[in-house]
Amino acid sequence: MPIKKLELSEGAREILFWFTVAMIAIVAIVALVTILRACSNIVSQSGSPLEIDPSEARLCSGEQTLFSAGGEDVTWEASGGDISQSGLFTAGAGSGEYVVTASDRGSSRTAQAIVRVVACTPTPSADATSTPPPSATATPEAGSFTTADARDDIGLYDTGAPSQESPAGIDIRAASIRADLRVSLEPGAGVPSEFADWVEEGEILLWIAFY
């Protein structure tokens, strides 16, 4: 049985031609866009270096610090101590300088940070530096005056104990005078006349005025 050839009309051939051209153009455009995107990613990655924050750290043994790489998807490594894949670094027991490395999963970019581990002096406890409580000081008991002259109107004060009496005069034999007290060794203005009459020949009146 003879085979008949399928012949297209002139219009059908033209439509098929332009359809083929359109498909080739679409494929070419998609390929070009893919290539441009890949190139832009490579350029952007090479143009923005990877950075670690912080770039340096100083830690005591056992202390921790968190490193970050600006939100990039990276893997973490450390030449000493321990670091998790979230960037949490834990200093080891040995002192020294160690390197933390972050590597970008999508490119060949890497970044490094320096960690210095030192042996810190422990803080002394409160018991080791506590001051012993002061010893209790005995409070002197209240004293009383004894007669110091024949007139029986001047009391004798020779202790440091507080007095509960108020005699007309005091014969001071052992005491201290504070800086805010005014002292005169001779009767002067303001001394009551009856006090001045107490002084006999060879005696000195010690008049103390309190302010």
Q: What is the gyration radius of the CA atoms in the chain, in angstroms?
A: 52
Q: pLDDT at residue 142 above 70?
A: no
Q: What are the start-end ranges of the E strands in the chain?
A: 56-60, 64-66, 74-78, 82-83, 88-90, 96-104, 110-118, 146-147, 155-157, 170-172, 181-184, 207-210
What is the pLDDT at residue 127? 56
Q: What is the mean pLDDT of residues 153-181?
A: 54
Q: Are residues 77 and 105 in the same domain?
A: yes
pTM check: above 0.85: no
Domain enclosing residue 101, as ranges: 56-118
User: From residue 38, how far is each of 82, 105, 126, 162, 190 by CA, in Å?
Assistant: 36, 16, 64, 99, 109
Could you tell me if residue 161 is inside a domain?
A: no
Q: Are residues 65 and 36 in the same domain?
A: no
Q: What is the mean pLDDT of residues 132-142?
A: 63
Q: What is the mean pLDDT of residues 102-111?
A: 90
Could you tell me if residue 136 is inside a domain?
A: no
Q: What is the mean pLDDT of residues 55-80?
A: 93
**What's the CATH number where 106 sits?**
2.60.40.1080
Percent of the chain with pLDDT over 70: 51
- Give 70 or 100, the one with higher predicted confidence: 100
- Give 204 or 61, the one with higher predicted confidence: 61
Per the structure, the count of domains in the chain is: 2
d(CA 171, CA 50): 93
